[in-house]
Structure 1
Protein backbone atom coordinates (compact mmCIF):
# COMPACT_ATOMS: atom_id res chain seq x y z
CA UNK A 1 0.00 0.00 0.00
CA UNK A 2 1.21 3.51 -0.71
CA UNK A 3 2.20 5.83 2.13
CA UNK A 4 1.02 9.11 0.60
CA UNK A 5 -1.24 10.44 -2.14
CA UNK A 6 -1.37 13.91 -3.70
CA UNK A 7 -4.81 15.41 -4.33
CA UNK A 8 -4.64 18.87 -5.88
CA UNK A 9 -2.12 20.86 -3.87
CA UNK A 10 -2.49 18.68 -0.75
CA UNK A 11 -0.40 15.61 0.02
CA UNK A 12 -2.20 13.14 2.27
CA UNK A 13 -0.34 10.69 4.48
CA UNK A 14 -1.86 7.19 4.22
CA UNK A 15 -1.75 5.15 7.44
CA UNK A 16 -2.96 1.76 8.61
CA UNK A 17 -4.59 2.15 12.02
CA UNK A 18 -6.42 0.03 14.53
CA UNK A 19 -10.17 0.64 14.11
CA UNK A 20 -10.57 1.70 17.73
CA UNK A 21 -8.23 4.64 17.13
CA UNK A 22 -10.05 6.81 14.59
CA UNK A 23 -12.33 4.79 12.40
CA UNK A 24 -15.67 5.55 13.99
CA UNK A 25 -18.06 8.19 12.71
CA UNK A 26 -21.29 8.77 14.59
CA UNK A 27 -20.74 5.48 16.42
CA UNK A 28 -20.39 3.50 13.19
CA UNK A 29 -17.17 1.68 12.28
CA UNK A 30 -15.66 2.73 8.96
CA UNK A 31 -13.21 0.96 6.67
CA UNK A 32 -11.28 4.23 6.34
CA UNK A 33 -11.46 7.96 6.95
CA UNK A 34 -9.99 11.14 5.52
CA UNK A 35 -9.05 14.21 7.53
CA UNK A 36 -8.82 17.22 5.21
CA UNK A 37 -7.14 19.49 7.78
CA UNK A 38 -4.51 16.98 8.98
CA UNK A 39 -4.15 15.74 5.40
CA UNK A 40 -4.34 12.12 6.47
CA UNK A 41 -6.15 9.03 5.21
CA UNK A 42 -6.54 6.19 7.71
CA UNK A 43 -7.25 2.62 6.62
CA UNK A 44 -8.21 -0.16 9.03
CA UNK A 45 -5.60 -2.80 9.83
CA UNK A 46 -8.43 -5.35 9.87
CA UNK A 47 -9.28 -4.78 6.19
CA UNK A 48 -8.14 -7.20 3.49
CA UNK A 49 -5.76 -5.82 0.85
CA UNK A 50 -8.60 -5.59 -1.66
CA UNK A 51 -10.83 -3.76 0.81
CA UNK A 52 -8.03 -1.31 1.61
CA UNK A 53 -7.51 -0.67 -2.10
CA UNK A 54 -11.15 0.17 -2.74
CA UNK A 55 -11.30 2.15 0.51
CA UNK A 56 -8.28 4.20 -0.55
CA UNK A 57 -10.01 5.02 -3.84
CA UNK A 58 -13.14 5.93 -1.86
CA UNK A 59 -11.22 8.30 0.43
CA UNK A 60 -9.33 9.82 -2.51
CA UNK A 61 -12.68 10.57 -4.16
CA UNK A 62 -13.72 12.38 -0.97
CA UNK A 63 -10.45 14.32 -1.18
CA UNK A 64 -11.20 15.27 -4.79
CA UNK A 65 -14.73 16.21 -3.77
CA UNK A 66 -13.35 18.52 -1.06
CA UNK A 67 -10.51 19.99 -3.16
CA UNK A 68 -12.70 20.84 -6.14
CA UNK A 69 -15.90 21.77 -4.30
CA UNK A 70 -17.93 18.91 -5.73
CA UNK A 71 -21.09 17.61 -4.11
CA UNK A 72 -21.04 13.92 -4.92
CA UNK A 73 -22.54 12.54 -1.73
CA UNK A 74 -21.59 9.35 0.10
CA UNK A 75 -23.59 6.95 -2.07
CA UNK A 76 -22.09 8.31 -5.31
CA UNK A 77 -18.56 8.17 -3.86
CA UNK A 78 -19.16 4.59 -2.74
CA UNK A 79 -20.41 3.51 -6.18
CA UNK A 80 -17.65 5.33 -8.07
CA UNK A 81 -14.94 3.84 -5.85
CA UNK A 82 -16.23 0.32 -6.41
CA UNK A 83 -16.63 0.91 -10.16
CA UNK A 84 -13.12 2.37 -10.59
CA UNK A 85 -11.60 -0.42 -8.49
CA UNK A 86 -13.41 -3.07 -10.54
CA UNK A 87 -12.30 -1.59 -13.88
CA UNK A 88 -8.68 -1.42 -12.70
CA UNK A 89 -8.71 -5.00 -11.37
CA UNK A 90 -10.73 -6.58 -14.20
CA UNK A 91 -8.38 -5.11 -16.79
CA UNK A 92 -5.22 -5.72 -14.76
CA UNK A 93 -4.43 -2.00 -14.92
CA UNK A 94 -1.70 -0.53 -12.80
CA UNK A 95 -1.99 3.02 -14.09
CA UNK A 96 1.03 4.54 -12.34
CA UNK A 97 3.44 1.79 -13.37
CA UNK A 98 2.09 1.80 -16.92
CA UNK A 99 2.64 5.56 -17.22
CA UNK A 100 6.17 5.31 -15.78
CA UNK A 101 7.09 2.78 -18.50
CA UNK A 102 5.89 5.05 -21.32
Structure 2
Protein backbone atom coordinates (compact mmCIF):
# COMPACT_ATOMS: atom_id res chain seq x y z
CA UNK A 1 0.00 0.00 0.00
CA UNK A 2 1.10 3.59 -0.30
CA UNK A 3 0.89 6.49 -2.62
CA UNK A 4 2.36 5.68 -6.05
CA UNK A 5 4.85 8.47 -6.71
CA UNK A 6 6.39 8.92 -10.14
CA UNK A 7 9.46 10.89 -11.08
CA UNK A 8 8.96 13.55 -13.73
CA UNK A 9 11.97 15.42 -15.09
CA UNK A 10 12.31 18.32 -17.50
CA UNK A 11 15.65 19.26 -19.00
CA UNK A 12 17.19 21.44 -21.66
CA UNK A 13 20.32 20.66 -23.70
CA UNK A 14 22.29 20.65 -20.42
CA UNK A 15 20.74 17.26 -19.87
CA UNK A 16 22.53 15.50 -17.01
CA UNK A 17 19.27 14.14 -15.56
CA UNK A 18 18.15 12.81 -18.96
CA UNK A 19 21.54 11.18 -19.55
CA UNK A 20 21.41 9.65 -16.08
CA UNK A 21 17.98 8.05 -16.39
CA UNK A 22 18.22 7.22 -20.11
CA UNK A 23 21.79 5.93 -20.27
CA UNK A 24 22.89 5.59 -16.62
CA UNK A 25 25.53 8.30 -17.19
CA UNK A 26 25.74 10.77 -14.29
CA UNK A 27 28.85 12.71 -15.31
CA UNK A 28 29.84 16.30 -15.88
CA UNK A 29 29.68 17.68 -19.40
CA UNK A 30 32.66 19.45 -20.86
CA UNK A 31 30.67 22.69 -21.12
CA UNK A 32 27.41 24.26 -20.04
CA UNK A 33 25.43 25.63 -22.96
CA UNK A 34 23.52 28.89 -22.34
CA UNK A 35 19.79 28.45 -23.08
CA UNK A 36 16.52 30.33 -22.70
CA UNK A 37 15.94 28.37 -19.48
CA UNK A 38 19.00 29.73 -17.66
CA UNK A 39 17.95 28.31 -14.28
CA UNK A 40 18.41 24.87 -15.82
CA UNK A 41 21.87 25.61 -17.21
CA UNK A 42 23.62 23.53 -14.57
CA UNK A 43 26.07 20.66 -14.26
CA UNK A 44 24.97 18.99 -11.01
CA UNK A 45 21.27 19.10 -10.14
CA UNK A 46 20.76 19.84 -6.45
CA UNK A 47 18.22 17.03 -6.14
CA UNK A 48 20.17 14.10 -7.65
CA UNK A 49 21.00 12.73 -4.22
CA UNK A 50 17.28 12.59 -3.43
CA UNK A 51 16.53 10.94 -6.79
CA UNK A 52 19.20 8.29 -6.12
CA UNK A 53 17.75 7.75 -2.64
CA UNK A 54 14.21 7.28 -3.99
CA UNK A 55 15.33 4.98 -6.81
CA UNK A 56 17.30 2.85 -4.32
CA UNK A 57 14.19 2.36 -2.13
CA UNK A 58 15.50 4.87 0.42
CA UNK A 59 18.81 3.04 0.81
CA UNK A 60 21.19 5.58 2.34
CA UNK A 61 24.24 3.36 1.84
CA UNK A 62 23.66 3.05 -1.91
CA UNK A 63 22.98 6.78 -2.16
CA UNK A 64 26.11 7.66 -0.19
CA UNK A 65 28.27 5.35 -2.32
CA UNK A 66 26.98 6.90 -5.57
CA UNK A 67 27.46 10.48 -4.34
CA UNK A 68 30.93 9.79 -2.91
CA UNK A 69 32.03 8.21 -6.18
CA UNK A 70 30.71 11.24 -8.07
CA UNK A 71 32.58 13.61 -5.76
CA UNK A 72 35.81 11.68 -6.35
CA UNK A 73 35.56 11.08 -10.10
CA UNK A 74 32.91 13.53 -11.40
CA UNK A 75 31.23 10.48 -12.95
CA UNK A 76 28.89 7.70 -11.82
CA UNK A 77 27.32 4.83 -13.71
CA UNK A 78 23.78 4.38 -12.41
CA UNK A 79 23.23 0.70 -11.55
CA UNK A 80 20.81 -1.05 -13.95
CA UNK A 81 18.45 -2.00 -11.10
CA UNK A 82 18.01 1.71 -10.30
CA UNK A 83 17.87 2.86 -13.91
CA UNK A 84 15.18 0.27 -14.70
CA UNK A 85 12.80 1.99 -12.26
CA UNK A 86 12.53 5.00 -14.59
CA UNK A 87 10.12 4.26 -17.40
CA UNK A 88 9.84 7.27 -19.74
CA UNK A 89 12.23 10.18 -20.13
CA UNK A 90 12.02 12.16 -23.37
CA UNK A 91 13.70 15.48 -24.02
CA UNK A 92 13.51 18.23 -26.62
CA UNK A 93 16.02 20.57 -28.15
CA UNK A 94 16.05 24.36 -27.88
CA UNK A 95 15.04 24.57 -31.55
CA UNK A 96 12.05 22.25 -30.99
CA UNK A 97 10.85 24.33 -28.03
CA UNK A 98 11.02 27.53 -30.09
CA UNK A 99 8.65 25.94 -32.63
CA UNK A 100 5.93 25.33 -30.02
Bin the TM-score by the shorter chain. Answer: under 0.3
* Larger Rg belongs to: 2
Which is richer in strand? 1
Taking structure 1 as the reference length, the TM-score comes to 0.26
Which is richer in helix? 1
